[in-house]
Structure 1
Amino acid sequence: MNFYGLSIFTLNYPIELILYMKMQKELRKFCPKCKTHTTQAVSTYKKGKDRKGAQGARRHAEDKKGYGGQKFPELKRTAKTTKKVTLKYTCKTCQRKTMKQGMRIRKLEIQA
C-alpha cells in the first residue's frame, strides 16, 4: 500500500494497526500560514523537559511523602503493544510547525 509518499507494511491487519512505516524526510504539504503547498520537513514530536517546580509535580511529591507509598496503584502489565507517534511538519519558507494526530505504529523510519 503506498499513498502520499508513505510506504506501509502490514501483515493483513486492519488499517488501525500499522506495524512499520517508512516516510520521506521532506514532502509537499499545505501550510496554513502561507496558504499554499510548500516543502515541509518531517520529524517526530518529542516531549519537553518536565518542570520540577510545577504545581502537579509538587502535589504528587507531597502525596508520596511519608507512609503509604504510591498515590495510585502501580501498573503491573501494559495493555498496548505499540505507542502513538505524532508527526511534526516544519514549513521551509515560514518555519511554521504543524502536527498530525498520533497514529499507532511499532516503528517509524524517516528516510533521506
Structure 2
Amino acid sequence: MQLIHCPWCGPREEVEFHYGGQADVAYPENPAALSDEEWAEFVFYRDNPKGPFTERWSHATGCRRWFNAVRDTRTYEFLATYRIGGPVPATGSEPSQQEVSA
C-alpha cells in the first residue's frame, strides 16, 4: 500500500484519497459565452504527460480537504504534495510549465 502525504493530516494510506484531475485548470470566466466545442474542450481535454504532473487530490476519508500533488505518471510515485494556491515544491523532477498551468 502506498502512503500519500496529506498537507493537513500527514501520511495516510492511498485508499483514503480520491483523484480529482489535473491541477490548476481555471474555470472559464464566462461559461455561458463558450461554444459547445470550447465547453467540451474545457470539460474533457487535459494534458496527459509521461513523467511529473500536477494533480488535484481529495483526502476523502480524512480531513476531506483538497490539495495538489506532483506525481510521476510513469511510476505512480508521489514526488510532493502541497496546499492549493501554494507554490509547486521543488522535486528534482520538475513538471513542465505546460503541466503546471492550464
TM-score, normalised on structure 1?
0.31
**Going by fraction, where is strand more abundant, 1 or 2?**
1
Q: Which has the larger radius of gyration?
A: 1
